[in-house]
Amino acid sequence: TLSGNDIAIAKSLVPALKEHGKEITTIFYATLFRDYPELLNIFNHNNQRAGLQQEALATAVYEAVANLDHLENILPVVKHIAHKHCSLGVQPEHYPIVGEYLTMAVQQVLGEQATPEILSIWKRAYNVIADAFIQLEQEIYRQGAEQPGGWSGFKSFVVKRKEQEGEGLIALYLEPEDGETLPAYEPGQYVCVRAQIDKFYHLRQYSLTEAPGKKHFRIGVKREGQEGSHAGKVSSYLHEQASQGDVLELSCPGGVFTLDHTLPRPVVLLGAGIGITPLLSMLYTLRERQPERTAVLGYAVRNGEYHAFADEIAHLVRDNEQVSATIFYEQPAVEDEQVGRFDRAGRIDAAWLQEQVSLDSEVYLCGPHGFMQGILTTLLKQGLKPEQLHYEIFGPALAFAVP
């Protein structure tokens, strides 16, 4: 355990760690993958390159150190990370390895500033944090495996159907190879797909897009990155290679961006682009579990080519008087105007939000960083409380600054 004084010393290191964040993480990953190349089967190669994830893991450790004496303050973030880790198959034995290489990188970059005493305290602080993650993750794995139809790790699924859902977006229908029933999941959760491409496994999370209780999982996969680039390794593979009858490995559903379908309050779902996928699952679940609950959808896309699941959404709205939707096209094409595919040109704006979001709403947001920051800022200004605002970030969460 750490004394109050130890905690103070550990915390006093945080500014220097943040200041040298890039250097530390660059060394950390380079040495980690040099000595444990098998970890490249878990980590996202692209995030390393882009520097996104490079920052995320270490930054989270520093944040946790800064909050050591009240880790409950960062519990929502910790839970988000723990679910991510579980979808990736992170195990307790990985923690000491990450701890050792992070400590060595800190030592190398901070030099004399990191005295043996400070380093020993830092290591113990890391262990406290690691233990908190390990416990939470073991609990998530246990719950996943114990629920009917559940499992831990990866399970083989067969691609039953593959459908184009708009420009650069496909839907995959996946059934377990062993024919077992599927576990229940919360609307808004994702599964992780593990695909062996080149000599490594590559892992990515994709939102489930329907209500639970079906024979299959359906995921929406947006094609990321340019052809041949490292970005979009898995999505290109799924777009180009995966076809009916192929087998893919999936994690048990996870994630903390979930619709609470026991609350009576009106619900507002705001999505941009591929961010519609978890919201669609929420709409379907509302229809099944809470058809009486008022729901508003705001869905923003570039134009008709990117308008995914258009028929399904139109259907969901037509079926239920309690549900209304406004489709925003940022740059409508002439044909979009003629066919009348959308409701408003431009983006989801403050006036629309003012009109649609009542002060007692629960709001669920999913889309690019800029989209979410803009909307969160507006809604907070309009008087909504932070606890009413739920959001999912596709990509490392800590790179996202909450307004």
Binding part of the chain for ligand HEM, among 53-61, 179-187, 286-294, 361-369 by CB under 6 A, reads 53-61
Q: Which of 276, 297, 6 is nearest to 124 (CA)?
A: 6
Q: Which of 358/400 has CB closer to ligand HEM? A: 400
The only residue of 6, 10, 84, 298 in contact with ligand HEM, by rule CB under 6 A? 84
Euclidean distance between CA atoms 200 and 38, whole angstroms: 8
Touching ligand HEM, residues 120-149 (CB under 6 A): 129-130, 133
Q: Kindly determine how many residues on this chain lie close enough to bind ligand HEM according to the rule CB under 6 A.
A: 25
Which residue bears the tokens 């970030």? 393
Among 9, 13, 47, 306, binds ligand HEM (CB under 6 A): 47
Which listed residue (17, 27, 56, 282) binds ligand HEM by CB under 6 A? 56
Based on the residue annotation, tell me whether 95 is a catalytic residue of this protein: yes
189 DSSP assignment: -
Residue 271: name the closest of 280, 284, 258 by CA.
280
**Can residue 42 be called a binding residue for ligand HEM (CB under 6 A)?**
yes
Q: Which lies closer to ligand HEM via its Cβ, residue 28 or residue 306? A: 28
Interacting span for ligand HEM (CB under 6 A) from 145-153, 228-236, 372-380, 391-399? 391-399
Q: Which stretch binds ligand HEM (CB under 6 A): 18-26, 244-252, 354-362, 395-403?
A: 395-403
Among 27, 64, 65, 282, binds ligand HEM (CB under 6 A): 64
Is 230 an interacting residue with respect to ligand HEM (CB under 6 A)?
no
Whether the Cβ atoms of residue 398 and residue 55 lie closer than 8 Å to each other: yes
Determine the Cα–Cα distance for residues 269 and 288; give it in Å rounded to an integer: 17
Choose among 253, 248, 252: nearest CA to 201.
248
Q: Which of 25, 53, 107, 209 binds ligand HEM (CB under 6 A)?
A: 53
Q: By C-beta, is 76 or 291 nearer to ligand HEM?
A: 76
Determine contact, residues 82/53, Cβ cutoff 8 Å.
Answer: no
Please report, as residue ranges, which positions from 293 to 352 form the binding site for ligand HEM (by CB under 6 A): none
195 binds ligand HEM (CB under 6 A): no
How would you label 34-56 residue by residue, b for 16+ Cβ within 10 Å and e otherwise?
eeeeeebebbbbbbbebeebbbb
Q: Does 67 participate in binding ligand HEM (rule CB under 6 A)?
A: no
Mutual angle of helices 75-88 and 52-66, in 10-degree steps: 140
User: Residues 6 or more apart from 370 whose CB is under 8 A from it?
Assistant: none
E strands, 198-238, in order: 200-207, 217-222
9, 10, 13, 60: which one contacts ligand HEM (CB under 6 A)? 60
- In this complex, which beta carbon is closest to ligand HEM, that of residue 34 or of residue 385? 34
For ligand HEM, the binding residue among 24, 81, 316, 375 (CB under 6 A) is 81
Tokens of 150: 């559940």
Q: How far, in Å, are 28, 52, 80, 126, 314 from residue 68 at the CA level?
A: 22, 24, 18, 10, 48
| Bridge partners of residue 249, in order along the sequence | 156, 194
Considering the candidates 62, 95, 141, 237, report the single residue annotated as catalytic. Answer: 95
Residue with tokens 């910790």: 78
Pick one of 28, 29, 43, 364: the residue that binds ligand HEM (CB under 6 A): 43
Query: Binder to ligand HEM among 14, 39, 66, 231 (CB under 6 A)?
Result: 39
Tokens of 380: 């907070």
State yes or no: residue 62 binds ligand HEM (CB under 6 A): no
Q: Report how far residue 119's alpha carbon sits from residue 358's, in angstroms, rounded to the nearest whole number.
A: 51
Distances (CA, A) of 2 to 102, 114, 125, 394: 19, 18, 7, 35
CB closer to ligand HEM out of 42 and 372? 42
For residue 57, the minimal CB distance to ligand HEM (Å) is 4
- CA atoms of 164 and 67, how far apart (whole Å): 45
Residue 284 contacts residue 211 (beta carbons within 8 Å): yes
Q: Is 364 a catalytic residue?
A: no
> Of 29, 101, 126, 137, which one is the catalytic site residue?
137
The CB-of-309 to ligand HEM minimum distance in angstroms stands at 25
Residue with Cβ nearer ligand HEM (52 or 380): 52
Q: How far apart are alpha carbons 191 and 185 in whole angstroms?
A: 10
Site residues (vs ligand HEM, CB under 6 A): 39, 42-44, 47, 53, 56-57, 60-61, 64, 81, 84-85, 88, 90, 94-95, 98, 129-130, 133, 396-398
> Which residues are known catalytic residues?
95, 137
